[in-house]
Chains A and B, each alone.
Chain A
Amino acid sequence: DTAVSQTPKYLVTQMGNDKSIKCEQNLGHDTMYWYKQDSKKFLKIMFSYNNKELIINETVPNRFSPKSPDKAHLNLHINSLELGDSAVYFCASRRMDRGGELFFGEGSRLTVL
């Protein structure tokens, strides 16, 4: 069983469209994340939810809206896509005891044309 799964793995769309990426974890973790990896491989945190509550909201355009229906799911909806949104988006979850590392999904490569 995949611990953190994201869908879709690849997404190609036109500027101005709206798209969503879904994420599910079966690890029983309370905290989930969205990270963006740009073309230079830089990983930047976007959002974090703890047990459905938003706890980290970095400087991200409000076209990006996360939603967590329960602690095992964290979805990302993006409105009015722009060329600069092209990136790989990683979902991750984390065990919050001492030394808890991030468990990542396989990433979703978004290409905006």
Chain B
Amino acid sequence: AQTVTQSQPEMSVQEAETVTLSCTYDTSESDYYLFWYKQPPSRQMILVIRQEAYKQQNATENRFSVNFQKAAKSFSLKISDSQLGDAAMYFCAFANFGNEKLTFGTGTRLTIIP
């Protein structure tokens, strides 16, 4: 069974600074996808960024980027120039190619300090 681990239950960062959220996963497959979702207090789940395992290049979406280390099974999220609106729970998720099941980590609560 696949597992996704987020070892940081809570993180905080000063506004305009950079923060990195950690995620590791366990799988024996070689073709899979990884995602970061954001859940603000409104509770809506919003996709932040996704990465396909066969792509060596790290995905980037504006201020959000990932550090994907396939051998280490690590998928961290870097948020640059943090803004107050970035305050939320962040969930890492994993899915094997051809498998309909997305498995989520336990989440990291990110606080932005003004």
Smallest CB separation, B7 vs chain A (Å): 15
Check if B97 sits within 8 Å of A42, measured CB to CB: no
Residues of A within 8 A of B (CB): 31, 33, 40-45, 48, 50, 55-56, 88, 90, 92, 94, 96, 98-104, 106-107, 109
The secondary structure that dominates the B interface is: strand
Smallest CB separation, A53 vs chain B (Å): 11
Q: Among B33, B45, B89, which residue has its beta carbon within 8 angstroms of that of A90?
A: B45
Residues of B within 8 A of A56 (CB): 100-101
How many residue pairs bridge A and B at CB < 8 Å? 58
Residues of A within 8 A of B15 (CB): none
Q: Which residue of A lies closest to B43 (CB)?
A: A107
Question: Given A99-B50, A102-B45, A104-B45, are A48 and B35 also a contact pair (CB < 8 Å)?
Answer: no
Check if A43 sits within 8 Å of B91, measured CB to CB: yes
Residues of A within 8 A of B86 (CB): none
Query: 11 new A-B pairs (CB below 8 Å) besides A104-B45, A107-B44?
Result: A33-B100, A41-B39, A41-B89, A41-B106, A44-B104, A45-B102, A45-B103, A94-B102, A99-B52, A102-B45, A106-B42
